[in-house]
């Protein structure tokens, strides 16, 4: 029995030692460029650890994929 398959491995979060705006941590703005008027999506399994909290990184698509023109 089980309520769910543990498909999400406990990846080591990216630790940042700088102040990140709350909006970016909450996914209200792109974590990388700070864009707020673009569609934001979770950056894969990207997470960022600020002190003791771990947040899901969301970006508008910049920086995620390489320059795939």
Q: Which residues bind Zn ion (CB under 5 A)?
A: 30, 32-33, 35, 59-60, 62
Collect all residues with Cβ–Cβ distance below 8 Å to 56 and sequence separation of at least 6. Answer: 27, 42, 46, 47
- Tell the smallest beta-carbon distance from residue 24 to Zn ion (Å): 10
Which residue, 20 or 35, has its beta carbon nearer to Zn ion?
Answer: 35
Concatenate the DSSP letters of all residues of 29-63 into one string: S-TTT--SSS--EEEEEEEEEETTEEEEEEESSTT
Which residue, 32 or 50, has its beta carbon nearer to Zn ion?
Answer: 32
- Tell the smallest beta-carbon distance from residue 64 to Zn ion (Å): 9
- Tell the smallest beta-carbon distance from residue 2 to Zn ion (Å): 37
């Amino acid at each position: 029995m089980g309520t769910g398959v543990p498909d999400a491995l406990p990846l080591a979060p990216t630790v940042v030692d700088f102040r990140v705006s709350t909006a970016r941590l909450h996914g209200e703005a792109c974590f990388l460029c700070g864009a707020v008027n673009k569609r934001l999506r979770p950056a894969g399994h990207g997470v960022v650890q600020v002190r003791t909290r771990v947040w899901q990184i969301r970006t508008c698509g910049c920086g995620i994929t390489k320059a795939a023109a």
